[in-house]
C-alpha cells in the first residue's frame, strides 16, 4: 500500500479557520462588491445590455438561486436610469375605420395632458354647441329655412288652386288628407244631378280640365320629397356652419399646442370634421325624449357618454412619473400580459369593444427600455413565446386577442395600429432551457444572441473567504438577522464548500446560503443569543438534514435489521460494498449496495444483469463493458478470453445509472477470478478505465458518510473504511464525525489511483506486476487471475477439440 | 257674462286638436261645458258623386277614384276620431261634454250650432295646405258672421294672461273690453287696454269710457295708447307686454282679411273676436 493512500484527517476537509478573520462579527464588515464570482456572466450581461442591435437579446442562464435576476436587474437599473424616458403612447379613434384605432406617440408625460385636453374639449363643446343652437341668429335662420320650404310647397299648391279657380274648379281637401277637384257653379260644387244635365261637350271639357289639373297636382306633390331633402340639406349646412365656428375656435387652440407632434394635428383635424358632422351628439336630449339603444331605453347621461366616447384618448403608456428608461419584470408572462389585451363590455347581452378598451402589456410598458421574463414561465404560457418572438422579429407590438390570432372567435374586435417596438428582452432560466430552445427553435438563436452563463461556484481562498464573509454580512443585514461571529461565518463557508461538492470551491447559490443563515439565526434566537455562532450554523445544517432524513434512516434501519444485506465484517469472494447516491429533492445521501460477481468457463462475456433486465442505464452498461476491455487487455493476451462472468447490484429494484460503481464491480470480478476474499469492512467507489486507472466520481462526501453511518451503527472496529479515487481528494468536505473517526483511527479513507492499489487494500495481497519474462509474481492477485483465465482458456480449447473429435467420429 | 257652453269645431286635424285643447282649458276656467261639432261637408259628398271624381293623395301623390260610399265612410272615420279626441281631452280635464255630427255646409252648420254656445273655438285652418300665415276660409267666415265671440289660435299656443284689448270707443269695443275684463278676472294677472287716440283729448275721453266699463270690476288694468292702431304696432305692444291673449272687437279694422292673418302669425297669441 502506498503510504499516501490512507488519508489523514486534515485531508478530509478544507477547514475554514475562524482565526483567519480579523473581524469579531459580521457587523464589522462592509458590503461586498455588488457581484461576486461571476466575471463571465457579468461581462456577457454588460455586453448584452450595451449592444443596440437587432437580435441581441439576452439569455441569463444558470441554476436557480445564483442571483441571475438580481444581478441582471442591478445592471439594468443602473443603465436604464441614465437613459432617456421613452415616448408615451395613446390609442385614439380612427374616424375612417373604426375597428383600427390609431396609435399616437407623445413625448414622455404629454399623453396624459393630451387626454385631459380632449376631455376638456368635449366638456366645453357640450355647453358651447347647445349654446350655439340657442342663439337668436340660429333660430331665425332655422325658421327661415322652414318657412322657405313650406312656402315653396304652399306656393306650388296655391298656384294650381288659383288656376283651377279661374276655370271654376275648386280644389278641395278630402277627409283622408288628399286633394280633389270639383267643378263649381255659383260658388258651390256642382251636384251630380246638375252635372249630368250639362251638355256632353261641357261635361267632357270639365273632365279633361280636371284630369289635367290632377296630373299637374301629382307632379307637384311628387316634388315635395325633393323639397324636403333640400330643406334637410340646408339645415345640415346651417348646423355645420354654426358648430364649425364653435369647434374651430376650440380645436385650433389644441392644434397650435400640439403642432410639433407628427400625427396629432391630423387626428385633431379628423376630430374637428367628425364633431361638425355629428354636432347632434353634443346637444342634450330634450326633456322627456327617451334615448334608446337597440330599442332599449338608456339613461340620458349614459347615452351622451356612449356617443362621445370616440373623442376620448386611451392613454396606453404614461411615463409622466418615470425617471430613465423602464425596466419591467413580468411575473406572469401570458400572451395577453405581454402584448396587451382588448377587453369587451357587455351591453344588452352583446360583447362590444372599442379603442378605449385596449390595455397595455408588458412590452408596451417596457418599450424603449428593458423587459425581464423568466423563461420557464414564458414557455408555460400558451402562445406567449410565439407572441413575443413575433413582436421582436417584426419590431412592433400588434395587440390582438388570442381568439383572433387563431381565428377562433368572431365577436366584434379591433385591430389596433401596431406600435413600434424597441426593447431589450432578458430571459432568465436554467441552462437546460437555453440549450433546448437553441436546439428546437431556429428563431431562438437569431433573437437571443447573447448568453450570460452564471457559475454556481467560486474559487475558495483566504481572500475569497473574506469576500464571502462580507456577503454573509450583507445578507444578514438585508434580512435583519443577528450578527454572525467568526465561527459562524467559518462554518457557513465550510458548508458552502460542501454544497459546491468541492473543497476548493464555494457555492454561490445564494438562495441556499440565505436559507442557512435564516435558520441559523432562528436557532440562535432559540438559545437567546445576540450573535450567531458556529454551533447555530451546525444545528441549522443538522436540522435541515434531519427534516428530510426519513428515507435515509429507513434504509439504514433495514440494513441493521438485516433486510438489506450489507456485511461490514469478515471476508467474502466475489463480493464488495459499492456506494451509491440517492437524490431526493434538495437532499442527497449515500448508501452502500452489495455488488457480487460470479465466473465460470465461457466465451469472454461479462454479463451485466442490470442491463439484461433493463434496470441499468447506458453509462452503467458502458462501465461494465470497460471491465471486459480491462480483463482482455491485461490478462492472457495470447489466448481467447474464455470466461463468462455475471455482475449484479444485489437488492436493487430500481434503475441503476452512472459508472461510479465500475471499480467496485472490477474488484468483485477480480476477487471471483482470483478466488481471493475481499474484506467486507471496506466500501468502494470510483469508475475505472480500460487501463485500470481509477477515475473520479460525484457525491464522494455523501458516499463516505453513508458507509460511515452504517459502520458506526454497528460499532466502529478500526478496520472500517472507504476507498475513493485519488482524483476526488479535493472534493472532500466531510462532516466532523467522520473526521473524528479518522483522527482516532476508527475509520479510514483510502485514496487510490489504480485498480492494483485498491485490490491490495481490499484483499491484503499484493497485486503484482509482470516481470521481464512477462510473468506476475507468484501468489499475487494478478497472477492468480491470469492462472484462472489461462485454465479457462485451456479448458475451452480442450472442449472445442473434444467436440471436433466427436464430430469426426460421428462422420 | 257667463259661459255655459263652449263650441269647438272638430275635424281631427292638428289645428282643430289645438282648438280643442284651448277650448278645454277655457271650459275649466269658465266652469262651462264643451260641445264638439263635426260637420260632414256636403260639398265633398257632391264631389264624390261626380263621374270623374278622383283624389290625389298627399304626400303619396297616388291618385284614387272617389265615390259617395267611400267618401261617406271616410267622413265617418274622421267623425269617430274627432269624437274620441274630445272624449279624451274633456275627461282628462273633468269637463262635461257632448258631441254632435251635422251634415251640410260647414259654415252654415257651425253658425247654427254657435247659437247654442257662448264661445266658438276654431283652429286657424282646417285641413289644408295654406301657407303658415293664411287663415282658412271657414275661420274667416266664422269671424265675419258668428253670433258669438270667436277664439282663433294656432297649434302649440295656449290661452294665458294678461289679455290685451284694443279699445276705440265703439259699442263693439265696449263689448270686447267687457269680455276681456271677464277673461282677466278668470285668468288673473291683469289687463292691458290699448287705446287708439290721435289727440290727448280723445285719449282722455276714451280712457274715461273704458273706465266706465271697468268700474265695479276687480281688474288691474293698465293703459297704453297710440295714435293709430296698426298691425305692426299691435304686434310690438303684444310682445312688450308679454300678452297671453288678444281681444279685438269685430268692428276693428284689424280683423280685415290680410291684417288679421299677419296679426295672428305675428303675435303668436290666441285671438278673441267679440261682436
* Contact list, B51 vs chain A (CB under 8 Å): 192, 195, 203, 207
**Separation CA A338–CA A351 (nearest Å):** 23
| Domain that includes residue A212, residue range | 130-277
Give the pLDDT score at A53.
Answer: 86
Test mutation, A175, A208, A227, chain B, max B CBs within 10 A: A175
Cβ separation A217–B56 shorter than 8 A:
yes
Q: How far is CA A576 from CA A332, A583, A677, A759, in A?
A: 53, 23, 9, 11
**Separation CA B153–CA B136 (nearest Å):** 12
**Separation CA A715–CA A718 (nearest Å):** 9
**Separation CA A243–CA A133 (nearest Å):** 8
Residue A3 CB-density burial (10 A; 0-12 exposed, 13-18 middle, 19+ buried): exposed
- Residue A296 — very low, low, confident or very high, per pLDDT cuts 50/70/90? low
Test mutation, B47, B67, B126, B266, chain A, max A CBs within 10 A: B47
The answer to whether residues A490 and A16 touch, using CB atoms and an 8 Å cutoff, is yes
Q: Reduced to 3 states, what is the DSSP secondary structure of residue A132?
A: helix
The answer to whether residues B184 and B161 touch, using CB atoms and an 8 Å cutoff, is yes
Test mutation, A154, A172, A174, chain B, max B CBs within 10 A: A174
A738 & A763 share domain: yes
Helices (H), ranges, chain B: 14-30, 42-49, 68-93, 106-114, 137-145, 171-187, 200-214, 231-240, 257-267
Q: What is the DSSP letter of B59?
A: T
For helices B42-49 and B68-93, the axis angle rounded to 10 degrees is 160
Of A277, A310, A333, the last residue of a domain is A277
Test mutation, A169, A176, A208, chain B, max B CBs within 10 A: A176
Give the pLDDT score at A420.
Answer: 95
Greater pLDDT, B216 or A73: A73
- Asked if the structure places residue A310 within a domain, the reply is no
Among partner residues B46, B54, B131, which is closest to A151 by beta-carbon distance? Answer: B131
Among partner residues B50, B55, B132, which is closest to A178 by beta-carbon distance? Answer: B55
Q: How far is CA A674 from CA A387, A519, A666, in A?
A: 67, 53, 12
How do the residues of chain B divide into helix, strand and coil, expressed in percent and rounded to 5? Answer: 45, 25, 30
User: Of all helices (H) and strands (E), which one includes residue A683?
Assistant: strand A682-684
The answer to whether residues A594 and A577 touch, using CB atoms and an 8 Å cutoff, is yes
Tell whether A586 lies on the interface with B, counting CB pairs under 8 A. Answer: no
Residue A377 annotated among the catalytic residues of the structure:
no
Q: Which of A652, A660, A662, A780 is catalytic?
A: A660
CATH number, domain of A789, equals 3.30.230.10
**Using CA atoms in the order A21, A27, A30, A32, what is the torsion angle rounded to 10 degrees?**
70
Tell whether A306 lies on the interface with B, counting CB pairs under 8 A. Answer: no
B12: nearest CA in chain A? Answer: A175
Which domains, and CATH codes, for chain B? 5-44+71-153 (3.40.50.620), 163-274 (3.40.50.620)
The answer to whether residues A75 and A46 touch, using CB atoms and an 8 Å cutoff, is yes
CATH number, domain of A496, equals 1.10.8.60
pLDDT digits (tens, 9 = 90+) for A5-63: 788 888 888 888 888 888 888 888 888 877 778 889 989 999 998 888 888 999 999 98
- Residue B133 — very low, low, confident or very high, per pLDDT cuts 50/70/90? low
**Separation CA A3–CA B39 (nearest Å):** 143
Which of the residue ranges A121-130, A276-285, A688-697 would you say has the lowest mean pLDDT? A276-285
Tell whether A154 lies on the interface with B, counting CB pairs under 8 A. Answer: yes
A704 & A755 share domain: yes
Cell of A633: 487487455
- Residue B131 — very low, low, confident or very high, per pLDDT cuts 50/70/90? very low
Tell whether A165 lies on the interface with B, counting CB pairs under 8 A. Answer: no
Strands B150-153 and B119-123: parallel
A603 & A750 share domain: yes
Cβ separation B127–A218 shorter than 8 A:
no
Window 196-235 of A: residues touching B by CB (8 A cutoff) are 203, 206-207, 210-211, 214, 217-218, 221-222, 224-225
Q: Is the dihedral of CA A254, A258, A263, A264 positive or negative?
A: negative
Q: Reduced to 3 states, what is the DSSP secondary structure of residue A688?
A: strand
Tell whether B10 lies on the interface with A, counting CB pairs under 8 A. Answer: no
The answer to whether residues A482 and A537 touch, using CB atoms and an 8 Å cutoff, is no
Cβ separation B58–A183 shorter than 8 A:
no
* Contact list, A222 vs chain B (CB under 8 Å): 61
| pLDDT (average), residues A384-394 | 93
- Asked if the structure places residue A607 within a domain, the reply is yes
Q: What's the full length of chain A, in residues?
A: 811
Among partner residues A180, A188, A203, which is closest to B66 by beta-carbon distance? Answer: A180
Q: What is the DSSP letter of A693?
A: B
The candidate with the shortest Cα–Cα distance to B186, out of B161, B210, B211, is B161
Tell whether B69 lies on the interface with A, counting CB pairs under 8 A. Answer: no
**Separation CA A61–CA B131 (nearest Å):** 90
Cβ separation A155–B54 shorter than 8 A:
no
Which residues, 6 or more positions from B229, have their beta carbon under 8 angstroms from its beta carbon? B166, B168, B194, B196, B252, B254
Q: What is the DSSP letter of A329?
A: E
Among partner residues A173, A176, A192, which is closest to B49 by beta-carbon distance? Answer: A192
Cβ separation B50–A173 shorter than 8 A:
no
* Strand-pair partners of A806: none
**Separation CA A261–CA A267 (nearest Å):** 11
Average pLDDT, rounded, for chain B:
84
Cβ separation A174–B49 shorter than 8 A:
no
pLDDT digits (tens, 9 = 90+) for B232-263: 888 888 888 888 888 988 888 777 767 787 88
Matching residue, cell 298691425: B231
A685 & A749 share domain: yes
Cβ separation B56–A189 shorter than 8 A:
no
Among partner residues B46, B75, B129, which is closest to A157 by beta-carbon distance? Answer: B129
A597 & A626 share domain: yes
* Contact list, A224 vs chain B (CB under 8 Å): 59, 61
CB count within 10 Å of CB B255 equals 19
Strands of the sheet containing A587-601, edge to edge, are: A605-608, A643-649, A587-601, A575-584, A682-684, A721-725, A748-752
**Separation CA A106–CA A319 (nearest Å):** 10
CB count within 10 Å of CB A7 equals 20
Residue A150 annotated among the catalytic residues of the structure:
no
Tell whether A291 lies on the interface with B, counting CB pairs under 8 A. Answer: no
Q: What is the DSSP letter of A574?
A: T
Q: How far is CA A129 from CA A178, A231, A279, A384, in A?
A: 40, 21, 7, 48
CATH number, domain of A67, equals 3.40.50.300
- Here the ipTM equals 0.79
Cβ separation B43–A188 shorter than 8 A:
yes
Tell whether A153 lies on the interface with B, counting CB pairs under 8 A. Answer: yes
Residue B54 CB-density burial (10 A; 0-12 exposed, 13-18 middle, 19+ buried): middle
Give the pLDDT score at A577.
Answer: 95
Q: What's the full length of chain B, in residues?
A: 275
Tell whether A187 lies on the interface with B, counting CB pairs under 8 A. Answer: no
Tell whether B128 lies on the interface with A, counting CB pairs under 8 A. Answer: yes
CB count within 10 Å of CB A272 equals 19
Q: How far is CA A119 from CA A310, A314, A795, in A?
A: 11, 11, 105
* Contact list, B130 vs chain A (CB under 8 Å): 154, 158
- Asked if the structure places residue A647 within a domain, the reply is yes
Task: Work out the minimum CA distance from B193 to partner chain A, whole angstroms.
Answer: 30
A587 & A464 share domain: no
- Asked if the structure places residue A200 within a domain, the reply is yes
| pLDDT (average), residues A78-88 | 91
**Separation CA A656–CA A652 (nearest Å):** 8
Of A454, A482, A513, the last residue of a domain is A454
Of A246, A277, A308, the last residue of a domain is A277
**Separation CA A388–CA B108 (nearest Å):** 91
A633 & A775 share domain: yes
B74: nearest CA in chain A? Answer: A175
Strands B54-56 and B33-41: unpaired
Cβ separation B57–A207 shorter than 8 A:
no
pLDDT value at A292 more than 80: no
A583 & A673 share domain: yes
pLDDT value at A761 more than 90: yes
**Separation CA B182–CA B176 (nearest Å):** 10
pLDDT digits (tens, 9 = 90+) for A548-585: 889 899 999 999 999 999 999 999 999 999 998 988 87
pLDDT digits (tens, 9 = 90+) for B70-107: 888 989 999 999 999 999 999 999 999 999 999 988 88
Q: Reduced to 3 states, what is the DSSP secondary structure of residue A450?
A: strand
- Asked if the structure places residue A293 within a domain, the reply is no
CB count within 10 Å of CB B60 equals 13
A789 & A690 share domain: yes
The answer to whether residues A26 and A472 touch, using CB atoms and an 8 Å cutoff, is yes
* Contact list, A211 vs chain B (CB under 8 Å): 52
Strands of the sheet containing A424-429, edge to edge, are: A327-330, A370-374, A424-429, A58-61, A450-453
Among partner residues A158, A178, A188, which is closest to B58 by beta-carbon distance? Answer: A178
- Asked if the structure places residue A124 within a domain, the reply is no
Q: How far is CA A398 from CA A98, A417, A422, A555, A802, in A?
A: 17, 7, 13, 58, 85
Q: Reduced to 3 states, what is the DSSP secondary structure of residue A35?
A: coil
Q: How many separate domains does chain A show?
A: 4
Question: For A359, phi and psi rounded to 5 degrees?
Answer: -115, 145
Give the pLDDT score at A297.
Answer: 62
Among partner residues A173, A176, A211, which is closest to B128 by beta-carbon distance? Answer: A173
Give the pLDDT score at A753.
Answer: 94
Task: Work out the minimum CA distance from A291 to partner chain B, whole angstroms.
Answer: 24
A444 & A469 share domain: no
For helices A755-763 and A781-810, the axis angle rounded to 10 degrees is 100
Cell of B132: 303658415
Q: In whole angstroms, how large is the CA radius of gyration of chain A? A: 48
A228 & A179 share domain: yes
**Separation CA B78–CA A635 (nearest Å):** 132
Cell of A446: 437569431
Q: Which of A68, A505, A512, A703 is catalytic?
A: A703
Q: What is the DSSP letter of A776?
A: P
**Separation CA A340–CA A414 (nearest Å):** 12
The answer to whether residues B103 and B72 touch, using CB atoms and an 8 Å cutoff, is no
Window 65-94 of A: residues touching B by CB (8 A cutoff) are none
Among partner residues B52, B55, B130, which is closest to A179 by beta-carbon distance? Answer: B55
Task: Work out the minimum CA distance from A195 to partner chain B, whole angstroms.
Answer: 7
A178 & A271 share domain: yes
pLDDT value at B265 more than 80: no
- Asked if the structure places residue A117 within a domain, the reply is no
- Asked if the structure places residue A748 within a domain, the reply is yes
pLDDT digits (tens, 9 = 90+) for A706-720: 999 999 999 999 999
Among partner residues B44, B49, B52, which is closest to A175 by beta-carbon distance? Answer: B44
pLDDT digits (tens, 9 = 90+) for A330-355: 999 999 999 998 888 887 777 788 89
Cell of A439: 436546439
Which residues, 6 or more positions from A341, have their beta carbon under 8 angstroms from its beta carbon? A358, A359, A361, A399, A401
Tell whether A158 lies on the interface with B, counting CB pairs under 8 A. Answer: yes
Matching residue, cell 390570432: A405
Average pLDDT, rounded, for chain A:
88
The answer to whether residues A82 and A524 touch, using CB atoms and an 8 Å cutoff, is no
**Separation CA B141–CA B103 (nearest Å):** 18
Q: Quick check: bond before B70 cis, omega within 30?
A: no
Amino acid at each position: 500500500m502506498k503510504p499516501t493512500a490512507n488519508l489523514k484527517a486534515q485531508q478530509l476537509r478544507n477547514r475554514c479557520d475562524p482565526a483567519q478573520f480579523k473581524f469579531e462579527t459580521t457587523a464589522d464588515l462592509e458590503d461586498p462588491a455588488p457581484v461576486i464570482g461571476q466575471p463571465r456572466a457579468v461581462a456577457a450581461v454588460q455586453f448584452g445590455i450595451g449592444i443596440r442591435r437587432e437580435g441581441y437579446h439576452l439569455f441569463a442562464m444558470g441554476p436557480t438561486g445564483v442571483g441571475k435576476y438580481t444581478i441582471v436587474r442591478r445592471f439594468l437599473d443602473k443603465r436604464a436610469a441614465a437613459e432617456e424616458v421613452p415616448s408615451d403612447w395613446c390609442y385614439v379613434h380612427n374616424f375612417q375605420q373604426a375597428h383600427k384605432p390609431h396609435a399616437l406617440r407623445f413625448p414622455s408625460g404629454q399623453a396624459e395632458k393630451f387626454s385631459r385636453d380632449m376631455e376638456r374639449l368635449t366638456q366645453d363643446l357640450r355647453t358651447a354647441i347647445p349654446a350655439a343652437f340657442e342663439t337668436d341668429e340660429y333660430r331665425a335662420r332655422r325658421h327661415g329655412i322652414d318657412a322657405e320650404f313650406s312656402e315653396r310647397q304652399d306656393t306650388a299648391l296655391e298656384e294650381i288652386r288659383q288656376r283651377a279657380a279661374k276655370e271654376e274648379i275648386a280644389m278641395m281637401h278630402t277627409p283622408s288628407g288628399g286633394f280633389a277637384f270639383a267643378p263649381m257653379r255659383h260658388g258651390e260644387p256642382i251636384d251630380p244631378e246638375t252635372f249630368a244635365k250639362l251638355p256632353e261637350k261641357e261635361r267632357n271639357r270639365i273632365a279633361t280640365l280636371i284630369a289635367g289639373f290632377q296630373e299637374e297636382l301629382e307632379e307637384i306633390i311628387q316634388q315635395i320629397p325633393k323639397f324636403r331633402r333640400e330643406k334637410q340639406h340646408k339645415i345640415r349646412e346651417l348646423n355645420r356652419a354654426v358648430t364649425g365656428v364653435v369647434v374651430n375656435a376650440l380645436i385650433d387652440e389644441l392644434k397650435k399646442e400640439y403642432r410639433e407632434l407628427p400625427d396629432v394635428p391630423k387626428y385633431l383635424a379628423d376630430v374637428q370634421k367628425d364633431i361638425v358632422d355629428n354636432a347632434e351628439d353634443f346637444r342634450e336630449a330634450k326633456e322627456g325624449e327617451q334615448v334608446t339603444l337597440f330599442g332599449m331605453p338608456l339613461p340620458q347621461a349614459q347615452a351622451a357618454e356612449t356617443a362621445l366616447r370616440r373623442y376620448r384618448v386611451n392613454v396606453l403608456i404614461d411615463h409622466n412619473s418615470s425617471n430613465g428608461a423602464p425596466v419591467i419584470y413580468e411575473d406572469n408572462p401570458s400572451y395577453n400580459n405581454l402584448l396587451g389585451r382588448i377587453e369587451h363590455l357587455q351591453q344588452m347581452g352583446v360583447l362590444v369593444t372599442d379603442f378605449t378598451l385596449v390595455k397595455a402589456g408588458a412590452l408596451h410598458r417596457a418599450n424603449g427600455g428593458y423587459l425581464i421574463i423568466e423563461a420557464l414561465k414564458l414557455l408555460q404560457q400558451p402562445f406567449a413565446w410565439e407572441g413575443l418572438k413575433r413582436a421582436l422579429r417584426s419590431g412592433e407590438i400588434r395587440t390582438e386577442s388570442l381568439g383572433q390570432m387563431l381565428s377562433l372567435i368572431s365577436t366584434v374586435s379591433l385591430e389596433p395600429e401596431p406600435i413600434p417596438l424597441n426593447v431589450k428582452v432578458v430571459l432568465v432560466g436554467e441552462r437546460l432551457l437555453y440549450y433546448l430552445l437553441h436546439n428546437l427553435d431556429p428563431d431562438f438563436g437569431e433573437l437571443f444572441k447573447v448568453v450570460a452563463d452564471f457559475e454556481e461556484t467560486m474559487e475558495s481562498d483566504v481572500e475569497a473567504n473574506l469576500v464571502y464573509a462580507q456577503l454573509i454580512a450583507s445578507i444578514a443585514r438585508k434580512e435583519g438577522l443577528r450578527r454572525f461571529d467568526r465561527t459562524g461565518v467559518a462554518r457557513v463557508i465550510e458548508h458552502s464548500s460542501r454544497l459546491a461538492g468541492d473543497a476548493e470551491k464555494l457555492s454561490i447559490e445564494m438562495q441556499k446560503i440565505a436559507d442557512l443563515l435564516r435558520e441559523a439565526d432562528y436557532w440562535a434566537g432559540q438559545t437567546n443569543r445576540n450573535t450567531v455562532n458556529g454551533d447555530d450554523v451546525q444545528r441549522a445544517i443538522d436540522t435541515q438534514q434531519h427534516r428530510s432524513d426519513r428515507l435515509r434512516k429507513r434504509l439504514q434501519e433495514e440494513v441493521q435489521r438485516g433486510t438489506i444485506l450489507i456485511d461490514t465484517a469478515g471476508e467474502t469472494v466475489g463480493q464488495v460494498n459499492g456506494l451509491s447516491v440517492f437524490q431526493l429533492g434538495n437532499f442527497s445521501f449515500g448508501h452502500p449496495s452489495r455488488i457480487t460477481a460470479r465466473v465460470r468457463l465461457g466465451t469472454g462475456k461479462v454479463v451485466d444483469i442490470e442491463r439484461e433486465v433493463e434496470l441499468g442505464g447506458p453509462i452503467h452498461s458502458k462501465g461494465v463493458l470497460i471491465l471486459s476491455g480491462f480483463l482482455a487487455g491485461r490478462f492472457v493476451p495470447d489466448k481467447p478470453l474464455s470466461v463468462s462472468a455475471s455482475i449484479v447490484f444485489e437488492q436493487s429494484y430500481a434503475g441503476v445509472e452512472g459508472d461510479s460503481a465500475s471499480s467496485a464491480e472490477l474488484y468483485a470480478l477480480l476477487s471471483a477470478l482470483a478466488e481471493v476474499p475481499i474484506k467486507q469492512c471496506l466500501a468502494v467507489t470510483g469508475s475505472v478505465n480500460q487501463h485500470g486507472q481509477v477515475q473520479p466520481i460525484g457525491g464522494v462526501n455523501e458516499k463516505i458518510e453513508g458507509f460511515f453511518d452504517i459502520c458506526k451503527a454497528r460499532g466502529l472496529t478500526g478496520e472500517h473504511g472507504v476507498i475513493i479515487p485519488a482524483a476526488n481528494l479535493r472534493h472532500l468536505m466531510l462532516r466532523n464525525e467522520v473526521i473524528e473517526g479518522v483522527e482516532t483511527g476508527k475509520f479510514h479513507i483510502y485514496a487510490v489511483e489504480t485498480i492494483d492499489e485498491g485490490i491490495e487494500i481490499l484483499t491484503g495481497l499484493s497485486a503484482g506486476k509482470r516481470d521481464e519474462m512477462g510473468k506476475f509474481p507468484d501468489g499475487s492477485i494478478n497472477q492468480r487471475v491470469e492462472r484462472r483465465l489461462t485454465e479457462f482458456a485451456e479448458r475451452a480449447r480442450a472442449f472445442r477439440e473434444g467436440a471436433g473429435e466427436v464430430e469426426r467420429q460421428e462422420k | 257674462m257667463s259661459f255655459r257652453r263652449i263650441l269647438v269645431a272638430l275635424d281631427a286635424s292638428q289645428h282643430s286638436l289645438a282648438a280643442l285643447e284651448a277650448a278645454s282649458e277655457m271650459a275649466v276656467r269658465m266652469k262651462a261645458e264643451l260641445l264638439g261639432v263635426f260637420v260632414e261637408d256636403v260639398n265633398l259628398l257632391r264631389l264624390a258623386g261626380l263621374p270623374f271624381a278622383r283624389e290625389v293623395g298627399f304626400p303619396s301623390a297616388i291618385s284614387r277614384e272617389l265615390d259617395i260610399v267611400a267618401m261617406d265612410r271616410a267622413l265617418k272615420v274622421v267623425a269617430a276620431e274627432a269624437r274620441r279626441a274630445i272624449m279624451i281631452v274633456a275627461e282628462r280635464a273633468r269637463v262635461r261634454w257632448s258631441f254632435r255630427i251635422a251634415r251640410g255646409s260647414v259654415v252654415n252648420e257651425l253658425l247654427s250650432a254657435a247659437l247654442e254656445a257662448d264661445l266658438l273655438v276654431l283652429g286657424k285652418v282646417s285641413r289644408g295646405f295654406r301657407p303658415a300665415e293664411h287663415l282658412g276660409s271657414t275661420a274667416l267666415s266664422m269671424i265675419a258672421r258668428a253670433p258669438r265671440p270667436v277664439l282663433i289660435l294656432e297649434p302649440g299656443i295656449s290661452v294665458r294672461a294678461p289679455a290685451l284689448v284694443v279699445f276705440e270707443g265703439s259699442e263693439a269695443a265696449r263689448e270686447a273690453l267687457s269680455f276681456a275684463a271677464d277673461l282677466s278676472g278668470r285668468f288673473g294677472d291683469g289687463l292691458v287696454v290699448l287705446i287708439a287716440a290721435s289727440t290727448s283729448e280723445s285719449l282722455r275721453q276714451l280712457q274715461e269710457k273704458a273706465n266706465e266699463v271697468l268700474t265695479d270690476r276687480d281688474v288691474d288694468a293698465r293703459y297704453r295708447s297710440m295714435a293709430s292702431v296698426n298691425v305692426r304696432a299691435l304686434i310690438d305692444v303684444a310682445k312688450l307686454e308679454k300678452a297671453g291673449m288678444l281681444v279685438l272687437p269685430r268692428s276693428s279694422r284689424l280683423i280685415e282679411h290680410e291684417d288679421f292673418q299677419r296679426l295672428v302669425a305675428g303675435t303668436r297669441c290666441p285671438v278673441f273676436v267679440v261682436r
